[in-house]
Amino acid sequence: DSGVTQTPKHLITATGQRVTLRCSPRSGDLSVYWYQQSLDQGLQFLIQYYNGEERAKGNILERFSAQQFPDLHSELNLSSLELGDSALYFCASGRSRELFFGEGSRLTVL
Amino acid sequence: SQQGEEDPQALSIQEGENATMNCSYKTSINNLQWYRQNSGRGLVHLILIRSNEREKHSGRLRVTLDTSKKSSSLLITASRAADTASYFCADGGQAGTALIFGKGTTLSVSS
């Protein structure tokens, strides 16, 4: 158990819809990282938050947004969903010397 | 951080054999890390090697780093079926920066 909790584990929705993925980092970790993993794109870094502030942006689409709340949990919002957004979405916390990953949220867009 | 590139993309071996995976990177690093991912699960940190280290061991894992060639290798000795997973490298970069992963090496160990 990494200590990072992600919900929901599985999510099936339709194109055009909006979903929210939730992440609770390990106790004491101020940083949260979001990654998307698909068969064709591999593991893509989306965005990083540190203590409520956006720290770094990767390949995050404009249709996607994230935030980190005062209690340090984070949410990743995906809107106007397309078939290609089907993927595993991972949250990780920790420091750059070692990241701890959650078990992921598997999103299927039909 | 930058993206490490693992090689080979896939590797199939028998139990008891050694498995070697390579990682190349493009610019200077502070450290290099290896992670394992069992199918559909979250990544798990295996080992970190600092830029001033040349070799590091952890159980059946041996990691080497050659900064002159900008490459690292992960050796798993006496492989087991349970080692079947994908393995990723990533450069640690500066403190607080995100890790960027390559596409990984998929290792299959058959009994």
Q: What token pair was written down for B96? A: 């607080």
Residues of chain B neighbouring A48 (CB-CB closer than 8 A) = 97-98
What pLDDT does A12 receive? 98
Question: Is there a contact between B43 and A55 if contact means CB atoms under 8 Å apart?
Answer: no
Task: Give, in order, the Cα–Cα distances in Å from A73 to each of A25, A37, A58, A87, B33.
Answer: 6, 21, 20, 21, 25
- Residue B48, chain A, CB below 8 Å: the answer is yes
Nearest to A95 among B43, B95, B104 (CB): B95
Mean of per-residue pLDDT scores for chain B? 91
Point out the residue among A2, A43, A56 whose CB comes nearest to the CB of B97. A56
A27-51 pLDDT per residue, tens? 999 999 999 999 887 899 999 999 9
Query: SS3 sequence, chain B?
Result: CCECEEECCEEEEECCCCEEEEEECCCCCCEEEEEEECCCCCCEEEEEEECCCCEEEECCEEEEEECCCCEEEEEECCCCHHHCEEEEEEECCCCCCCCEECCCEEEEEEC
B3: distance to nearest CA of chain A, Å? 10
What does the pLDDT read at residue A95?
78
In angstroms, the CA B12 to CA B83 distance is 11
Q: What is the pLDDT of residues B69-110, one digit of tens each?
A: 999 999 999 999 999 999 999 987 666 678 888 889 999 999
B-interface mutation test, from A44, A96, A106, most B Cβ less than 10 A away: A96
Pairs across A and B, CB distance < 8 A: 68
Residue A14 phi, psi dihedral angles, 5° rounding:
-105, 160
The whole-number pLDDT of residue B100 equals 86
Search chain B and give the residue with CA nearest A97.
B92
Integer angstrom CA distances of residue B60 from B63, B79, B80: 10, 8, 10
How do residues A3-31 score in pLDDT, each as one tens digit?
Answer: 999 999 999 999 999 999 999 999 999 99
Interface test with A, best of B3, B101, B105 (most A CBs within 10 A): B101
